[in-house]
Amino acid sequence: MKQYLWWAVLVIAIGCSDPSNSGSSGTDSSNDSNTISGSDSSSDTATSSDTTTSTMANGTDNQSTDSAANGTDSTANGPDGDNDGAADLQDNCPSIANPDQADVDADGVGDACDNCPTWGNSSQTDTDSNGTGDACQLLAPGDPDGDSVAAGDNCSLIDNADQLDADSDGMGDACDNCVNTWNPFQEDLDANGTGDHCEEALVIPLGTPICASGSTESVRLASNLYILLDLSTSMTFDAQGGTSTRWEVVTTALDGVSDDLAAGFNIGLGTFPARCENQSGSYTCDDTPSACSAAKLPDEILPMQAGRAGQVIRDTYASITPFGTTPTATALTQVLANRVFELDGDTFAAQRSSAVVLITDGDPNSGGDTCNLSGDMTNTVAAAEALADAGVPVYVIGMTGVNENNMESIAVAGGGDNPNDPDRTWFPAEDVESLSAALMVIAGASIGCSLSVAADASTPPDWERASVVMTLSPTEERVLADTEYTINTTAPVTMALAGIACDELKASAGSGQEVGLEIRVACQETCDTVETCGDGIDNNCNGVIDEECDAWCVCVTGSTACGDCPADCIPAVEICDGKDNNCDGTIDEGCCVPQTEECDDVDNDCDGIIDEGCNVIVE
């Protein structure tokens, strides 16, 4: 829609001039200056630096021209660059003089500078830059691009006699903005000449209809973090420094990070061995089955759940006292067998990431279902490896006095890593500070790289036109290439980062940065039931552009069936030519239809000027 800035034209009713000052033509040649009383004085001079020359012809006051100090021509309505009597802001051809303001196709561009004066084309699009607008070339009969292909040319404005179409989308390779990917609608949201389907990192402009989206603020798939705690008797021994027990170091460290963990993860807690049912201040481990048996491990003191507060986590282990052996292998085996690291009934279980954190101070020393002290490293390593193979890494935190070689073996098998220690895969913990730091590094590494994506149920998204933005810090944000993420379009729909992008997100989160992800997916264009003539698009998706549009029909007024058009002609795009081109029974809908100008504050004659010739009398 064009917008115009209007200057008000004020016409003053004045008395008759002295006949002696009038020539034979009736033209007033005096230099006038208006007075407050409105009387005409031929001896007065203008007070401004400009001299105004008024011309009266047949009693009509014509537009006046000023000679400003800079030599720019102007009218009463503003500057007039081409000196044709029409102010630039109202001139339909401001760079070429056209006093008649002729505009045959009523598209707002004067015939003198219209690259297709017979067909409405306000955009003046000229794809091949030959000086003739696309509208005239598309609507011209015959072979406008001279490639000897007239009917069904898949590049009607570019010479392509071979008609090659590698992706069979109906758009010839010579003019296809995405040659090897099917995109019949030629979508190009950023108008850079490369089709959306071929953009490596698509940027979707604001205002674009979105049919699927997701962001970390609302639908990030929070990871599951299952913490497996060693409750063996040795956890009551002094930690390094001798001021606290190992168990006190563990619980104090958990106290300090529990709020952060609860805010970013779904948390579950389990212990091994199990607390005995007849416990009264100490463990007797004489229950049947024993506290080391598979039936009782892990002892889920806090089943996996989303949305828990940090205080709930702290309350869970506050009254527990370690006592017993170290059935690590059985505990890890049962973690996988019972899948305690998953949320019950989780719709996104297949897409949500999970991890196990093993906190221990001793070698695995209990095998089978008995609480004996035999070594069990072989089964423990195998259990950790089985979890890793299932996509659940096991991170190992070893307290003071552990066998470092055994810790390393379990950590390597479990697929966890300590990125801050080049010599260890596991995390050594001597005090609250080192254990807290280890937990936060593990939490950062366990950040989920997936989003659930909400899709519009009524309009299908075009999954090939997705834009994914990753925020790594308040000052670092980038649009991801389509090779850096995958979209699972099977319900429930999710998007997951891949490779380096996921590693970057986890590294930033682990360093304490506030990270974010956002995905926006444009809506899918749909195929029309009929072809629209003259738009250069395969609207009905049959692989042919503008088929049966060679005989451009113009339908009679009031016709809805195009009865006066050839039987095989499809209605054309409506243009401003006084005819019902699209056969909907309405002429020039959306166009300004010229009529006699009336003094009603409306541009009746569609010349861009409101109420021209209408005098406003100020009394």
Domains located in the chain, CATH noted? 1-91 (no CATH), 197-218+450-523 (no CATH), 224-445 (3.40.50.410), 550-613 (no CATH)
pLDDT per residue over 330-376, tens digit each?
A: 999 999 999 999 999 988 888 788 999 999 998 888 756 667 777 78
Beta strands 485-488; 476-479: pairing state: unpaired
pLDDT per residue over 496-515, tens digit each?
A: 888 888 888 877 766 656 77
What is the phi/psi pair of residue 225, to 5°?
-120, 110
Q: Which of 64, 54, 49, 50 is closest to 7 using CA atoms? A: 64
Please determine, for residue 489, whether its predicted confidence score (pLDDT) is greater than 80.
yes
Distances (CA, A) of 287 to 281, 353, 458, 533: 15, 36, 59, 84
Q: How much is the average pLDDT of 115-139?
A: 76
Return d(Cα 33, Cα 99) in angstroms, integer. Answer: 28
Residue 546: predicted pLDDT:
60
Residue 369: predicted pLDDT:
64
Give the distance from CA 110 to its chain's centroid.
Answer: 39
286 compared with 273, residue with greater pLDDT: 273
When mean pLDDT is compared across 48-57, 154-163, 192-201, the lowest value belongs to 48-57
Residue 554: predicted pLDDT:
43
Q: Which of 158, 148, 153, 157 is closest to 170 using CA atoms? A: 153
Length of the chain: 619
How many Cα neighbours within 13 Å face the side chain of 43?
0
Tokens read off for 117: 């004066």
Q: What's the pLDDT band for 2 if we cut at 50, 70, 90?
A: very low
126 compared with 49, residue with greater pLDDT: 126
Q: Which of 369, 338, 219, 347 is closest to 268 using CA atoms? A: 338
Please determine, for residue 255, whether its predicted confidence score (pLDDT) is greater than 60.
yes
Residue type, 325: T
583 compared with 375, residue with greater pLDDT: 375
Please determine, for residue 26, whether its predicted confidence score (pLDDT) is greater than 90.
no
Asked if 150 contacts 143 with a C-beta cutoff of 8 angstroms, the reply is yes
Distances (CA, A) of 1 to 4, 123, 206, 592: 10, 11, 20, 11
Q: What's the pLDDT band for 189 if we cut at 50, 70, 90?
A: confident
Three-class DSSP category at 534: coil
- Averaged pLDDT score across all residues of the chain: 76
H or E stretch covering 444: helix 432-445
115 compared with 240, residue with greater pLDDT: 115
Which of 140-149, 390-399, 499-508, 542-551 has the largest mean confidence? 390-399
Return d(Cα 371, Cα 373) in angstroms, integer. Answer: 7
Q: How much is the average pLDDT of 520-543?
A: 72
Please determine, for residue 283, whether its predicted confidence score (pLDDT) is greater than 60.
no
Asked if 270 contacts 298 with a C-beta cutoff of 8 angstroms, the reply is yes
Residue type, 484: E
Q: How much is the average pLDDT of 293-303?
A: 88
Q: Which of 452, 448, 453 is closest to 505 using CA atoms? A: 448
Q: What's the pLDDT band for 144 if we cut at 50, 70, 90?
A: low
Distances (CA, A) of 116 to 131, 135, 151, 381: 9, 7, 22, 78
pLDDT per residue over 83-104, tens digit each?
A: 988 888 888 999 899 999 998 8
Computed on alpha carbons and rounded to an integer, the radius of gyration of the chain in Å comes to 40
Q: What's the pLDDT band for 129 if we cut at 50, 70, 90?
A: confident
Return d(Cα 115, Cα 125) in angstroms, integer. Answer: 9
Distances (CA, A) of 371 to 97, 284, 361, 376: 102, 11, 17, 12
